[in-house]
Structure 1
Amino acid sequence: MSALAWLSNKLEDGRIACEACNQHCKLHEGEYGICGIRKVENGELQLLTYGLAAAVNVDPIEKKPMFHFLPGSQVFSFGTVGCNFSCKFCQNADISQYPKEHNHDIFGSSLSPHKAVELALEYGCQSIAYTYNEPVVFFEYTYDTAKLAHEAGLKNIYVTSGYETHKAIDTIAPFLDGMNIDIKGYSQSFYKDICGGSLKPVLETVEYAHKKGIWIETTTLLIPGLNDSDEELRKIASFQAALDPSMPWHISAFQPMYKMTDIPRTPSSTLRRAYEIGKEAGLKYVYVGNIDDESRESTYCSSCHKPLIERHGHVGQFVTNHLVNLNVCPYCSTSVEGVWH
């Protein structure tokens, strides 16, 4: 289904400038954006996947991962085909890279913004997550859904690579409650060679979205030999701690996939080392993912260090929340940062 991609602008030379993401595509008639799903047709930029969901699920919120956002709740999750990155380790390449690898073909099942909100409420979800591929590439679809969700009392979450323009963030901020932003590494070469992007815009997005009052959690997938050096991990942790030490950092284990099947799985020792680096940098909340490590998946009070939210088993399978008063430690009354209701 095609709809006007209104987050765009017509240039004097006749090209259309897409204003959704920091790839800053400027397109002639008939050209596609880097994402593969935004195309100029009849002098206007069109979003080719509006109302076409390639993946739909009801997930535990912890799976996003969001650990300080309505813990233990269910989230209605959906995404389309297409992506503005080309990560060689993408776990959802079958949808994110599909248009670029199939001559701009697209697929998806009909899911209107109204239907998405209706289903989220029907399944008892407290929020909607725009995920699986990059949400900003189907921005207008997310915006229309988020606005309706907000009106229905649901919260909205972007699970994103952090390439939103400031204009995109400003536009959706009134309806966007949370973001999990990938900080995929801390070197320009990694972003350019492995992901098809740049580091600086991602860091700027983290800073800007945080400034707008959106709850932010970040994720770094540790790939052996590529982005897991102590130096690089310290840079990520230090950047985040300087911005806000209460911003949760999720560090996850890589599994061989897509174009990186020759690289081994991340050892658990690497995750434990990254966890300690995050703590040493001053981060209050550091979590490991894609391995079973109850002690490093649980949330502890930053003052008395007692467990506040215990997690074990498959992500989101077993969550015990001791925050009876929502954002206050029951043992020492210290405030715990997050979105609790």
Structure 2
Amino acid sequence: MIPRGKSGRCKVRSNKHSVLETPYGNLSSAHVDPVEKKPLFHFHPSTYVYSIGGWGCNLSCKNCQNYQISQVWVVNSAVTSPEEICKRALSKKCGGIAFTYNEPTTWYEFMEDTAAEARKNGLYTVCVTNGYIQKEPMSELLEYIDAFNIDVKSFSDQFYQKYCGGTLKPVLESVELAAEHKNHIELTYLVIPGINDSHEELEAFSNWVRSINERIPVHFNAFHPCFELRHLDSTPISTLLNARQIGYDQGLKYVYLGNVNYPSAGDTVCPRCGRVAVRRVSTRAQKTDGICRFCNEELNMVVNPKDNTSVRFWEYE
């Protein structure tokens, strides 16, 4: 219960005269991004997405990279409507709209309304979220959002309590709900040296993902010092390579490395023939129709032939 005259932990919803209020359409950020930057490697590859962010977060992660907008009170900012967001996305020739940068569920109502409007306009929608949300609103959101990248920040409840001010169970339940509903899902795990990078924890995480669906793409991302964890070192490439190998050893089919400049970090390896089916460098990807060009294996990709994306593709020998 939020006391009268106070705001909730997310710093967005407030109790004004015993009425729960939340800002609607208050933008902190708006950019055109490659969808691979979300990161989503198996969803409308090489399209551009109109990415918008609001304010606040329902967690307080000590390593937050966007703390300037997620860990502050809502400030005066541009206010817009779902119709205007869709108009901007279309005018910039984007394939869809992404709710990202801060935690999108803090402006749940605006996100849901915008997603419904996007569908009317033939735009896909993406939610980049921490997954820390109750089952009922998550289930409702699944009807409107086409793809999710969900951060599983650790496979330890102690980590969530100490470093995020939350708990692990709701996040796992969100992933399981999305998988059950057949929405497109990709997972991100930020590997922090000495904190959530033990062999046992990475193995347990990978086993859990496999138990849901071995074909869910997993992104093991490098940590770089920021916010309240500036005293830590960046993640060594050896640690990321170990995480990727653990993922493959536990049966995951698509494992990627992020936040690092390393050959093959973003390549899609065909789980059937073992050859590189899609090469990537940063956010540029080799053109694909979602099928391995060597053995015709289906690569668990959402690909729309109507995507106008040739400007971002390039061919290999």
Q: Bin the TM-score by the shorter chain.
A: over 0.9
TM-score by length of 2: 0.93
Deviations 1:177-207 (A, max 9, x none): 1000011001111100101110111111100
Matched residue type, 1:271:
L
Q: Which of these residues, 274, 283, 300, is aligned with residue 337 of structure 1?
A: 300
Residues 301-312 of structure 1 mapped to structure 2, 5 A cutoff: 301-312=270-281
Residues 18-29 of structure 1 mapped to structure 2, 5 A cutoff: 26-29=1-4
- Conserved? CA contact 1:253–1:291, under 8 Å: yes
Q: Does the residue aligned with 1:169 lie in a helix, a strand or coil?
A: helix
- CA distance in structure 1 between the aligned counterparts of 2:276 and 2:115, rounded to whole angstroms: 33
Q: Aligned-pair distance for 1:42?
A: 3.0
Query: Match of 1:67?
Result: 41
1:291 aligns with 2:260: yes
Number of matched pairs: 304
- Conserved? CA contact 2:55–2:106, under 8 Å: no
- CA distance in structure 2 between the aligned counterparts of 1:262 and 1:170, rounded to whole angstroms: 39
Q: Which of these residues, 15, 23, 32, is aligned with residue 58 of structure 1?
A: 32
Q: Does the residue aligned with 1:31 lie in a helix, a strand or coil?
A: coil
Q: Which of these residues, 176, 183, 189, is aligned with residue 220 of structure 1?
A: 189
- Conserved? CA contact 2:33–2:50, under 8 Å: yes
Residues 314-329 of structure 1 mapped to structure 2, 5 A cutoff: 315-316=282-283, 318-321=284-287, 323=288, 326-329=289-292
- CA distance in structure 1 between the aligned counterparts of 2:217 and 2:263, rounded to whole angstroms: 16
- Conserved? CA contact 1:92–1:132, under 8 Å: yes
1:147 aligns with 2:112: no
Matched residue type, 2:285:
V
Identity value in percent: 39
Flag the 1:251–1:107 CA change in 2: closer, same or farther, 3 A.
Answer: farther
- CA distance in structure 2 between the aligned counterparts of 1:150 and 1:335, rounded to whole angstroms: 26
Matched residue type, 1:244:
N
Q: Aligned-pair distance for 1:170?
A: 2.3
Q: Aligned-pair distance for 1:217?
A: 0.4
Q: Does the residue aligned with 1:78 lie in a helix, a strand or coil?
A: strand
- CA distance in structure 2 between the aligned counterparts of 1:224 and 1:306, rounded to whole angstroms: 31
Q: Aligned-pair distance for 1:289?
A: 0.5
Residues 29-178 of structure 1 mapped to structure 2, 5 A cutoff: 29-48=4-23, 50-99=24-73, 105-178=74-147
Q: Aligned-pair distance for 1:33?
A: 1.6
Matched residue type, 1:276:
Q
Q: Does the residue aligned with 1:156 lie in a helix, a strand or coil?
A: strand
- CA distance in structure 2 between the aligned counterparts of 1:111 and 1:62, rounded to whole angstroms: 26
- CA distance in structure 2 between the aligned counterparts of 1:216 and 1:141, rounded to whole angstroms: 21
Deviations 1:85-136 (A, max 9, x none): 100000000000011xxxxx52321222111111111111111110000011
Q: Aligned-pair distance for 1:163?
A: 1.1
Query: Match of 1:243?
Result: 212
Q: Aligned-pair distance for 1:165?
A: 1.9
- Conserved? CA contact 1:294–1:310, under 8 Å: no
Q: Aligned-pair distance for 1:331?
A: 2.0
- CA distance in structure 2 between the aligned counterparts of 1:293 and 1:168, rounded to whole angstroms: 39
Matched residue type, 1:164:
I
Q: Which of these residues, 231, 245, 264, is aligned with residue 262 of structure 1?
A: 231
Q: Aligned-pair distance for 1:327?
A: 2.9
Larger CA deviation: 27-36 vs 281-290: 27-36
Q: Does the residue aligned with 1:118 lie in a helix, a strand or coil?
A: helix
- Conserved? CA contact 1:54–1:107, under 8 Å: no
Q: Does the residue aligned with 1:189 lie in a helix, a strand or coil?
A: helix
Q: Does the residue aligned with 1:297 lie in a helix, a strand or coil?
A: coil
- Conserved? CA contact 1:80–1:108, under 8 Å: no
- Conserved? CA contact 1:81–1:107, under 8 Å: no
- Conserved? CA contact 1:245–1:282, under 8 Å: yes
TM-score by length of 1: 0.87
- CA distance in structure 1 between the aligned counterparts of 2:170 and 2:214, rounded to whole angstroms: 21
Query: Match of 1:181?
Result: 150
Residues 177-216 of structure 1 mapped to structure 2, 5 A cutoff: 177-216=146-185
- CA distance in structure 2 between the aligned counterparts of 1:266 and 1:221, rounded to whole angstroms: 9
- CA distance in structure 1 between the aligned counterparts of 2:120 and 2:18, rounded to whole angstroms: 33
- Conserved? CA contact 1:53–1:111, under 8 Å: yes
Deviations 1:19-49 (A, max 9, x none): xxxxxxx22332322101011223321112x
- CA distance in structure 2 between the aligned counterparts of 1:178 and 1:107, rounded to whole angstroms: 30
Matched residue type, 2:53:
G
Matched residue type, 1:38:
R
Q: Aligned-pair distance for 1:57?
A: 0.6
Q: Does the residue aligned with 2:149 lie in a helix, a strand or coil?
A: strand
